Amino acid sequence: MSESMIESLRGKYELEPAYLDKVAAMAEHHPEDRELILGAFDFAYKAHDGQRRKSGEPYIIHPISVASLIDEWGFDSESVMAGLLHDTIEDTEVSFQEVESRFGHSVAELVDGVTKLGHVVYQSREEEQMEDLRKMFIAMAKDIRVIIIKLADCTHNIRTIQFKTIESQRKKALEIMEIYAPIAHRLGMQSVKWELEDRSLKVLDPIGYAEIENYIKDRTDTFNKFLDRTKDTIAAALKEHNIEGQIKARLKQIYSIYRKLYGQNLQFSEIYDICATRVIVKDLAGCYSVLGIIHDLYKPIPGRFKDYISAVPLPSEAAGEGEN
Ligand code: MN
């Protein structure tokens, strides 16, 4: 990252260095639109001047964090700019026309789209109606980037939700759980979905959440050693068979353990996939070769093996991610 850009930002804006570093980073990731991104930041900084978050921090840290997530997720510079500007039309004197004349029609449309989504009155309902609501959100967005910006907005809001009243925390968490996490899933943004679900759960059932968190915390070392060992064993076997594959090992997210404990009424000891390993190979034949190798190493439990290679679950069935 260029030192000179950071220096000049620090001279110009009164803001914690960590946030200015984020601004510099997103500008540098899009060299062709560097000035526009810095311009969008400057514009938003001035528009939100004097406004504060519930935490007491300057409001601008929110749009910076949102834009920075959008950038981390690999989206284009228009989305990053719209992330910086996403609350200007709603919460400041700035008009659609101003944003449009400064940053172009599509950026203005993105900001406008995010603002409109925020106006939909959300109320928890039956699952069937909830599905209609999710579809409506997606359709309303027109440009899918509007949804991406909204997901980043939700992510930063839920990360910093502790400053709100309990009532508004619960309302927001429920909306994220029922609308936005499933949309993230649909878009294939698994880790976004996991974070949204886990953080919402922590708000909605803090005791249930803590129970699982503590269970895992007490066993972190054991679990990690087990995952490392399994990874090494599989890596050695793949090498022996000349198969190239990427091996990933992880602990199950808290919310999916929660669903098993409370949704399926299981005990911790009955959940077999708290530790999970994944092997990613180039093609279908590779999948079956790896499956054979794994079954040689570890005996499948009769009746519990599911062939998700031949039976790809539909998106609606994949909520459990094809694991059991
Ligand atoms: Mn926002």
pLDDT digits (tens, 9 = 90+) for 79-131: 999 999 999 999 999 999 999 999 999 999 999 999 999 888 777 778 888 88
Q: Are the beta carbons of 36 and 17 closer than 8 angstroms?
A: no
**What is the 253 CA–ligand 1 centroid distance (Å)?**
26
Q: For position 82, what pLDDT does the model report?
A: 98
Under the banding of pLDDT at 50, 70 and 90, the label for residue 301 is confident
**What is the 83 CA–ligand 1 centroid distance (Å)?**
8
Under the banding of pLDDT at 50, 70 and 90, the label for residue 312 is low
Whether this prediction's pTM lies above 0.75 is answered by yes
* Inter-helix orientation angle 77-85/105-119, to 10°: 50
Write the DSSP symbol of residue 165.
-
Q: Which residues are catalytic?
A: 90-91
Which uninterrupted H or E stretch holds 127?
helix 127-141
**What is the 6 CA–ligand 1 centroid distance (Å)?**
25
More confident residue, 315 or 297: 297
Q: Pinpoint the alpha helices (H) of 160-204.
A: 166-175, 181-186, 190-204
d(CA 312, CA 304): 17
d(CA 52, CA 58): 5
Residues, beta carbon < 5 Å, ion ligand 1? 87, 153
Q: In sequence order, what DSSP letters do the residues of 70-83 get, joined into one string?
A: HHHTT--HHHHHHH
Shortest CA distance to 109 belongs to which of 135, 145, 133? Answer: 145
